[in-house]
Amino acid sequence: MQNEKKAWWKEAVIYQIYPRSFADSNGDGIGDLNGITEHLPYVKELGVDVIWLSPVYKSPNDDNGYDISDYRDIMTEFGTMDDFDRLLKKAHELGLKIVMDLVVNHTSDEHSWFVESRKSVDNPYRDYYIWKEPKDGHEPNNWESWFSGPAWEFDEATGMYYLHCFTKKQPDLNWENPKVRDEVFDMMTWWCEKGIDGFRMDVISMISKDQAFPDGPDKDGIYGDLAPSVCNGPRVHEFLQEMNRRVLSKYDLLTVGETAKVTIEEAKKYANSDGTELGMVFQFEHVDQLNEKESVIGKWTTAKPQMTGVRAVLDKWACELEGCAWNSLYWDNHDQPRAVSRFGNDAPEWRELSAKMLATNLHMMKGTPYIYQGEELGMTNMVFESIEDCRDVEELNAYRQYVEEHKMVSPETMLACFGAVGRDNARTPMQWNGSLNAGFTSGTPWIPVNPNYKVINAEAALADPDSVFYYYKKLIALRHGNPVIVYGNYEPLMGDSRTVYAFARNYENRRLIVACNWTEYNQPCPLFDGIAGEELISNYTTHKDGILQPYEARAVLV
Ligand code: GLC
Ligand code: CA
């Protein structure tokens, strides 16, 4: 496929900032917009093109900003709209684009629309949300919210239930109501007019619900699964096409949908190359299915994913979307554990090598790569000694439901699961230097700092030419300088190997060969023998014939 349509966002690398944990400028222990602005030169130094900001809008923070009470205002702890405007201006001056998180499957229960909606059945905002009568005195169906407990909350004022796929402080918007769509599209236009460069759309695959609201299949012996009725629902593509017509098509934006439960078939529609919906989507198969296979309960596991499983998923996505839809590439984000701990090896002797190997694997693939703050330092998972260390509402609710109420899981096992796959792993503060609190704050951080910050931090990385940071920088620069990395078609190699992930990229008579050893032992790999080519990057300076050394990665252009 040599005729892939060109687009700036296909050639870009995105850096995700989770503002709460990035940099605190005023000592209250919470990261903020001015903290980000101060550190823009660091992001620029890495060489990325775009910053995706996790939500910065006004929010009571039940789910750290993914519960928005005012889409046109800034979270008090993060600063003001003036601070935002300054951040946007400074970023643009540095040649960095800003992509906003768009959370429109639900709002906060403190959003004025919901405050009105719950007042009475004939309130003009009533149909902005999804209200149902009780069924036999109970919830309208058996759905479990994504974050434990029923997905329905009873509201005294009118004696009805409202739907919340996430926490009860995150009521789902009713996209069937054209007024809701008007409001959302107006708000998006308002941000576009401000000059932002795109949207990452939170759980956008969930905006259209099966209007029959049927019970879901048993999930954990307690509740039913809502996913079959809310993910990739009946009108989701119609709604996104309307959004595209009315807003997206009027600007030159990066758009990426966070599409829970997306399949290849669905992705071909969401991210179709005609551009009638979104630019690309985040799929979850390489991070989700592996958990379910060896689950303690629900998503919770301590099992480590195997390379072969990861490769099967990523190769499938790369091959099947070839020429018809665009991929996004990621190992971690604010909802996932740290990449080096999950997929690599965070023991001191292997941490940097395996972080570089993983980076090579991902950044040489076809699609737009995303880097999550601290990934470029090889930041690791956290050890959670007690539930007191945890902040994430998903973890706290799971602990309450499975450990305290139903006694299905021991506290030790639950904490071990949090340490393996919990979202707080990604949310410990960015490690800037070896001083108190890793230089994140002069106050008390809202979540504990990972104790390894004295060794793993940005200052140390910037002083070491061999660091993970500079390796990422090189990978990003290579993408910018080599069209084969962006547009080359994808060809899986060495499919029988259980230890080496290899592939080629082909573009205009150039062939890029990439091989990554996912283990701490030498592994056979014949791909580079007798080949005269230009080595674009490797995490080793010397190589051995026929072998990849522990966690060795190589990319050679022939
Ligand atoms: C998405 C976000 C996650 C949030 C959820 C509800 O999955 O990435 O952080 O909790 O949606 O908004
Ligand atoms: Ca602050």
* CATH value at residue 269: 3.20.20.80
Query: Could you tell me if the CB of 161 is within 6 A of ligand 1?
Result: no
Do 444 and 391 have their domain in common?
Answer: yes
Structural domain contains residue 271: yes
Q: Which two tokens stand for residue 486?
A: 């962006």
Query: Could you tell me if the CB of 372 is within 6 A of ligand 1?
Result: no
Do 460 and 506 have their domain in common?
Answer: no
Structural domain contains residue 168: no
What's residue 3's pLDDT?
67
Atom of ligand 1 lying closest to residue 165 CA? 6
Residue type, 135: K
- Are residues 514 and 554 in contact, defined by beta-carbon separation less than 8 angstroms? yes
Each residue's pLDDT, cut to its tens digit, for the chain (558 residues) gives 456 899 999 999 999 999 999 999 999 999 999 999 999 999 999 999 999 999 999 999 999 999 999 999 999 999 999 999 999 999 999 999 999 999 999 999 999 999 999 999 999 999 999 999 999 999 999 999 999 999 999 999 999 999 999 999 999 999 999 999 999 999 999 999 999 999 999 999 999 999 999 999 998 889 999 999 999 999 999 999 999 999 999 999 999 999 999 999 999 999 999 999 999 999 999 998 777 778 899 889 999 999 999 999 999 999 999 999 999 999 999 999 999 999 999 999 999 999 999 999 999 999 999 999 999 999 999 999 999 999 999 999 999 999 999 999 999 999 999 999 999 999 999 999 999 999 999 999 999 999 999 999 999 999 999 999 999 999 999 999 999 999 999 999 999 999 999 999 999 999 999 999 999 999 999 999 999 999 999 999 999 999 999 999 999 999
What's residue 72's pLDDT?
98
- Give the up-direction half-sphere exposure of residue 80: CA atoms within 13 A in the CB hemisphere: 1
CA distance 422 to 386: 13
Do 12 and 28 have their domain in common?
Answer: yes
Do 425 and 386 have their domain in common?
Answer: yes
Number of CB atoms found within 10 A of residue 440's CB: 28
Do 99 and 156 have their domain in common?
Answer: no
Structural domain contains residue 481: no
Do 496 and 470 have their domain in common?
Answer: no
Q: Which of 202, 256, 261 to mutate to test the pocket of ligand 1 (most atoms within 8 A of CB)?
A: 202
- Are residues 308 and 492 in contact, defined by beta-carbon separation less than 8 angstroms? no
Which residue, among 382, 357, 359, has the nearest Cα to 371 in the 3D structure? Answer: 359
Structural domain contains residue 511: yes
Q: Which two tokens stand for residue 192?
A: 């576009």
Active site residue 258: yes
Domain boundary among 448, 475, 502: 475
Do 249 and 232 have their domain in common?
Answer: yes
DSSP run (H or E) holding 245: helix 236-246
pTM of the entire predicted model? 0.97
Phi and psi at residue 112, in whole multiples of 5°?
-60, -30
258, 352, 375, 376: the active-site residue = 258
Distance 35 CA to ligand 2 centre (A): 7
Which residue, among 201, 167, 161, 165, has the nearest Cα to 184 in the 3D structure? Answer: 201
Return the CA Rg of the chain: 23
Distance 269 CA to ligand 1 centre (A): 22
Query: Could you tell me if the CB of 172 is within 6 A of ligand 1?
Result: no
How many residues appear in the chain? 558
Query: Could you tell me if the CB of 376 is within 6 A of ligand 1?
Result: no
- Domain range spanning residue 120? 112-163
Atom of ligand 1 lying closest to residue 260 CA? 7
* CATH value at residue 139: 3.90.400.10
Structural domain contains residue 218: yes
- Are residues 375 and 331 in contact, defined by beta-carbon separation less than 8 angstroms? yes
What's residue 219's pLDDT?
86
What's residue 430's pLDDT?
98
Do 50 and 85 have their domain in common?
Answer: yes
Active site residue 4: no
Do 347 and 213 have their domain in common?
Answer: yes
Q: In total, how many domains does the chain have?
A: 3
**Nearest C-alpha to atom 6 of ligand 1 is from which residue?**
66
- Give the up-direction half-sphere exposure of residue 367: CA atoms within 13 A in the CB hemisphere: 28
Number of CB atoms found within 10 A of residue 544's CB: 12
Which residue, among 134, 38, 46, 130, has the nearest Cα to 91 in the 3D structure? Answer: 38
Q: Which two tokens stand for residue 223?
A: 């509740």
Domain boundary among 446, 475, 504: 475
Do 467 and 496 have their domain in common?
Answer: no
Which ligand is closest in space to the CA of residue 299? Answer: 1
Q: At a CB cut-off of 8 Å and minimum separation 6, what does 182 contact?
A: none
Structural domain contains residue 171: no
Do 126 and 12 have their domain in common?
Answer: no
Query: Could you tell me if the CB of 453 is within 6 A of ligand 1?
Result: no
Do 16 and 148 have their domain in common?
Answer: no
Query: Could you tell me if the CB of 66 is within 6 A of ligand 1?
Result: yes
What's residue 64's pLDDT?
97
